[in-house]
Amino acid sequence: MSFDRLIDKIIQMKNPAVAGLDPKLEYVPDFIKSKYFLQDGETLKAAAKAIFKFNQAIIDEIYDIVPAIKPQAAYYEMYGYFGMKTLEKTIKYAKLKGMYVITDGKRNDIGATMEAYTTAHLGAVKVGDNEIEPFGADALTVNGYLGTDGISPLLKICEEKDKGIFVLVKTSNKSSGELQDRLMGDVPLYRVMGDMCENWGSSQIGKYGYSSVGAVVGATYPQQLSELRNELKHTMFLVPGYGAQGGGAEGIAGAFDENGLGA
């Protein structure tokens, strides 16, 4: 089970943090940027190369104290296909250093199209007689608005290739309640989505009791975080919003189970 590997690392390093890699060119130090601008001009190619160099330096600093990285796909797409090359290289480099990689892509679609996303980020594509991993992350964040048709193709790859997914349940942003908190009968939409996660993962439960289907639950809503932790016994949580978005250490305590795991 993919999340067993993640939890093994968390226990070994005594650290449940995931390092987000959401690189904007403006975060990259000038001495790195100017080198690539000199080589390739002020182009997407130069920007993407500078960002890779920056990511590499971050990974070198943290790989032995942080178990996982979470590159946010949007920041790589923003630099076009050169940016996507940097995403691929960043994932490969982090895995080489032994890190667990969660691509934050919030992908969603149905049937054959969802299979294509699954292949892109977690699987391998056939080209002639070759099987090639396009991006090759360990886990992917996804959006479940389309229902089971959007999740089934992922479950197959999770099982076959030892991968995991995190489904958006209760997101960290201010307006997440507009839809997610609204009641469907007696329970809010986020609970309905959470229960679907439990259900989707029910046949793929690992040695720590967590399935290959996790949930994204924001640190900014500590009450819902505790409520969901109590209800979703087999669902690993990815908890964004700690720090800059206002989530604090007390607030996220509820994300963990009685063994200090689960998030």
Q: Using the 8-state DSSP alphabet, how is residue 72 labeled?
A: B
199-258 positions binding its own copies, by CB under 8 A: none
Out of 27, 178, 202, 230, the only residue in the binding site for its own copies (CB under 8 A) is 178
Reference 60, options 21, 112, 15; nearest CA is 21
Nearer residue to its own copies within complex by CB, 153 or 262: 153
Nearer residue to its own copies within complex by CB, 218 or 251: 218
Tokens of 5: 């590997």
Whole-number Å distance between alpha carbons of 49 and 40: 10
Task: Provide the pairing of β-strand 187-188 with 183-184.
Answer: antiparallel
Out of 13, 62, 78, 261, the only residue in the binding site for its own copies (CB under 8 A) is 78
Whole-number Å distance between alpha carbons of 164 and 102: 9
Verify binding: residue 171, its own copies, rule CB under 8 A.
Answer: yes
Cross-strand bridge partners of residue 164:
139
Verify binding: residue 195, its own copies, rule CB under 8 A.
Answer: no
Nearer residue to its own copies within complex by CB, 99 or 193: 193
The DSSP code sequence of 176-209 is GHHHHTSEETTEEHHHHHHHHHHHHHTT-B-TTS
15-34 positions binding its own copies, by CB under 8 A: 22, 24-25
Verify binding: residue 96, its own copies, rule CB under 8 A.
Answer: no
Size of the site for its own copies (CB under 8 A): 73
Nearer residue to its own copies within complex by CB, 22 or 64: 22
Nearer residue to its own copies within complex by CB, 1 or 50: 50
Out of 5, 8, 92, 173, the only residue in the binding site for its own copies (CB under 8 A) is 173
- H/E run at residue 154: helix 148-161
Please state the closest distance from residue 144 (CB atom) to its own copies, in A.
7
Nearer residue to its own copies within complex by CB, 64 or 160: 160
> Does the annotation mark 89 as catalytic?
no
Please state the closest distance from residue 142 (CB atom) to its own copies, in A.
10
Out of 65, 132, 230, 260, the only residue in the binding site for its own copies (CB under 8 A) is 132
Which of 53, 95, 106, 161 is an active site residue?
A: 106
- Which residues 6+ apart lie within 8 Å of 234 measured at CB? 198, 201, 202, 205, 209, 210, 211
100-129 positions binding its own copies, by CB under 8 A: 106-114, 116-117, 119-121, 125-129
Out of 3, 52, 54, 82, the only residue in the binding site for its own copies (CB under 8 A) is 82
Please state the closest distance from residue 65 (CB atom) to its own copies, in A.
25
Query: Per this entry, what is the length of the chain?
Result: 263
Cross-strand bridge partners of residue 125:
132
The residues carrying an active-site annotation are: 106
